Structure 1
């Protein structure tokens, strides 16, 4: 026997940042929204958890564009639209441990030029400066089209009507940003270190090499990070604070979030998506639409076999996946570690390629900036290998087995090796240590093969978008908009929400918040 409830306008499957942006915006437009989350808390990868007084991050560690307005960051635009804000703490330096040496580099262009001059000489510094000068009008072009103004199909024209004067001078450069960033960088840069630096930034932002990373995304990032007053940000409360703000906005506008509600089936009746069935056999009907924030592979598994055209299903099933993560969460004694930057990025060997397994490690110690994330006299640390841990190494190992635990210790040794370069006695300082694998990621975040998300290269043409062959079924998340990370998934959520409202409603809201 199945139980059912009164229907809602919109059901969103999954409360990752894309799903929350979609649900909160749709509620802001007046739709009755229900977001269903299998986990016990919202946020997807952008959530936190607590152990013995240590507040750990599970996801994004590099944030920018939230502390100022106007902002080109689509997440900041969504928060503005739903009347929410998240306080941030700012900082300007991060540490890098590279084959060339260990450095502390400021986010702005001037500090980076000093590092390049010291490392590679004035000619390389001039090469980089020339590249930044060339990029400046392209950054302006990317910023001229607010991502929150996008909507599926040709109806974008209706949203932007009246703004053509602002866009017209940039149209040529906008067209040039439709592909990958790697070829652009190689046309202007010759110095090996500079090219490797571009590879590093691309992989950090998208989980893909430069030859597959969106040119528009990278040009936007360079426009933000290399301004004279550029800074990085840490949301007070971490990633969880972002999710909480989106949930507040969702509920403030009449929407609801239901956790511990795993969707097992998307109901398709009369060739249209009509609702969902949950693990407890509860059936919930959707009057307007169902939006899936689950991965494309998991979404396909929720649909009846015959509900999709065979070719479309096969094409999307074959979407390449980014590799997964290794994680280290540490609570450690550290009242004498204030000299360290909040973040470090380590690269082992440029020749192996930036995507090689365990060739890059990211370390974040946010308690240096927000001390109440850890008990007095202690620090909280999150380390991860960004999208470079192969699922094939883990798929046949049972979590908890001797073989699994042994491999986890062996593979996670890379964190300790890197940390001992910064904190030689780190093992003695550790009071809590949690190691994770792609199996951990798959278990807690319901991610396909523990993956970071689809590895859809910008060199392959347009992304699939939010629409599907099934009327009333839309997608949001990492498989919708170019690149993986916070800005793309926030944009994807907005795209799905805007597919449900008239262009005139969208335009009105964007004018109210000063985006158009």
Structure 2
């Protein structure tokens, strides 16, 4: 068994997660652009469109924003439901993160772009010396005690920042607004119909942040999308969310851990790799005083077929859930070390592929399209229907937080002029 820990994580402060003004009523039942889903991609797309002075309405089926990146609270513990490992959050240079660039455009992050300012206002020698120093410092990253970035106040703080940016520029977001149908008239997407029966008109475009399979289910039944039906899916997840007392736990506990049971089996095999994050190590406000919050999961390696058709209320389901989660518990014991007792956990939440499917509204609980690098390409953002676009992990450039943020930005810039795009780049200094 191999256990790797990423410690001393550099703290990325996005500001305190504000209490958002959650909207439960749609208000005006039309917009220039209607965005289905408030995942990272959908929020990036909607926020940027709002900055471009488009009238935007985001329709979210859940009661919380964020999609697969949403956060939730249980007994005073605040949990990340999805991504918690961030590697690089700069918005400049060859390693620029598209999400950071969107945040630059939507919210004031309080960061100074020192090198950019140095090149603009200083001498060439000053900028050259600074670059040399950066090269030296980057080499330190590979030494023991290396650091990765994590958003203080949790991944939910990133989502909250995107929602604040959307609302800052006049965009709207409505929760518990489940889209049942994308309405197509004369071959063109003209709006959506909600489960409540209400029609919401989109004057310029409908953007789906749902997966390709879930988007297909929203279209008229006569639509046959062979490529979507033939695209293989990544497997699903199992999750373990815990809240426990920090008494007796090492004070040197690290935030990120990877437990690999058997390298010979490969990192993409079932029941072999567990990722663990304990964000309260860096952001104590995510748990009650003297407590820790933990999220462990098996990343896209859980076969949905084992669970398909099971009733969550049956003994069969509960027995399978207990059996298949044992590897998660063992990994947590390995990562947290002596002092951890799962019997004393104040919160124990085990999520299965059915849980993943239900709460995230992901077809078969999938992680996304299983497209191998060099052997296929992710679909583009336009569709055969004029005015219907897609963003998120089913579109180029693919799966992951930076990739889906980029997909949202691509759709945005497909709906505005080049001059508008250029002005925004100048405004944020990119």
TM-score, structure 1 normalization: 0.69
Question: 1:408 is matched with which residue?
Answer: 321
Tell me, yes or no, if the aligned pair for 2:274 and 2:299 is still in contact at 8 Å: yes
Instruction: Indicate the residue corresponding to 2:100 in structure 1.
Output: 76
Residue 479 of structure 1 aligns with which residue? 394
Cα separation, 1, equivalents of 2:220 and 2:262? 46
2:284 equivalent in structure 1: 371
For 1:344-423, what aligned pairs fall within 5 Å after superposition?
344-421=257-334, 422-423=337-338
**1:66 and 2:89 correspond:** yes
Quick check: 1:250 aligned with 2:166?
A: yes
Is the deviation greater in 500-509 or in 427-436? Answer: 427-436
Taking structure 2 as the reference length, the TM-score comes to: 0.83
1:206-285 matches, within 5 Å, as 231-285=147-201
- Listed as ranges, the matches of 1:406-445 within 5 Å are 406-421=319-334, 422-423=337-338, 425-445=340-360
Equivalent pairs counted in the alignment come to 376
CA distance in structure 1 between the aligned counterparts of 2:390 and 2:108, rounded to whole angstroms? 24
1:467–1:379 Cα change, 3 Å: same
Matched, 1:332 2:244: yes
With over 3 angstroms needed to count, the CA separation of the structure-2 counterparts of 1:389 and 1:84, relative to structure 1, is farther
Query: CA–CA distance in 2 between the matches of 1:11 and 1:247?
Result: 15
Secondary structure, aligned partner of 1:305: coil
More helix by share: 1
The Cα shift of 1:7 comes to: 2.1
Match of 1:19 in 2: 42
How far 1:417 moved relative to its partner?
Answer: 1.2
Tell me which residue corresponds to 1:30: 53
Q: 1:44 and 2:67 equivalent? A: yes
* Structure 1 residue 45 displacement after superposition: 1.0
Query: 1:246, 1:317 → 2: CA distance?
Result: 32
Structure 1 113/489 Cα, relative in aligned 2: closer, same or farther at 3 Å? closer
Q: Where do 5+ consecutive residues of structure 1 fail to align? A: 88-107, 116-228
Residues 300 and 317 of structure 1 are in contact (CA less than 8 Å); yes or no, is this contact kept in structure 2?
no
Deviation at 1:6, TM superposition (A): 4.1
Determine the C-alpha separation between the residues in 1 that align with 2:86 and 2:28.
39
The alignment partner of 1:297 has SS state of helix
Q: CA–CA distance in 1 between the matches of 2:141 and 2:262?
A: 21
SS in 2 for 1:387: strand
**Residue aligning to 1:286:** 202
CA contact (8 A) 2:154 2:286 kept: no
- After superposition, residues 460-499 of structure 1 pair within 5 angstroms as 460-499=375-414
Q: Bigger CA drift: 255-264 or 505-514?
A: 505-514
Shift of residue 36, structure 1, vs aligned partner: 0.2
Secondary structure at the counterpart of residue 484 of structure 1: coil
Contact map agreement 2:192 2:199 (CA 8 A) in 1: yes
Deviation larger for 450-459 or 258-267: 450-459
Q: Deviations over 1:352-384 (max 9, x none)?
A: 121101111001111111112111111111100
Give the CA deviation at 1:69: 5.6
1:305-316 mapped onto 2 (5 Å cutoff)? 305-306=221-222, 313-316=225-228
Task: Decide whether aligned partners of structure 1 residues 241 and 86 sit closer, same or farther in structure 2, where only a CA change above 3 A counts.
Answer: farther
| Counterpart-to-counterpart distance in 2, 1:247 and 1:288 | 22
- Which one is further off, 383-392 or 56-65? 56-65
Taking the aligned partners of 1:109 and 1:7, their CA distance within structure 2 comes to 49
Contact residue 267 and residue 277 of structure 1 kept, 8 A:
yes
Aligned mates of 2:373, 2:171 — CA distance in 1: 34
Partners of 1:4 and 1:284 within 8 A in 2:
no
Once structures 1 and 2 are overlaid, which stretch shifts more, 383-392 or 318-327?
A: 318-327
Please name the residue that 1:455 is paired with: 370
Cα distance in structure 1, aligned partners of 2:87 and 2:348: 29
User: What SS does the corresponding residue of 1:18 show, helix, strand or coil?
Assistant: helix
1:132-211 correspondence to structure 2 within 5 Å: none
TM-fit CA distance, 1:482: 2.9
The answer (yes or no) to whether the contact 2:90–2:97 under 8 Å persists in 1 is no
| Partner Cα distance (1:387, 1:6) in 2 | 37
Equivalent residues of 2:378, 2:398 under 8 A apart = no
Q: Note if contact 1:419-1:426 (Cα within 8 Å) is conserved in structure 2.
A: no
Cα 1:332/1:477, change in 2 over 3 Å: same
Return 5+ residue gaps in structure 2 as ranges: 1-25, 112-136
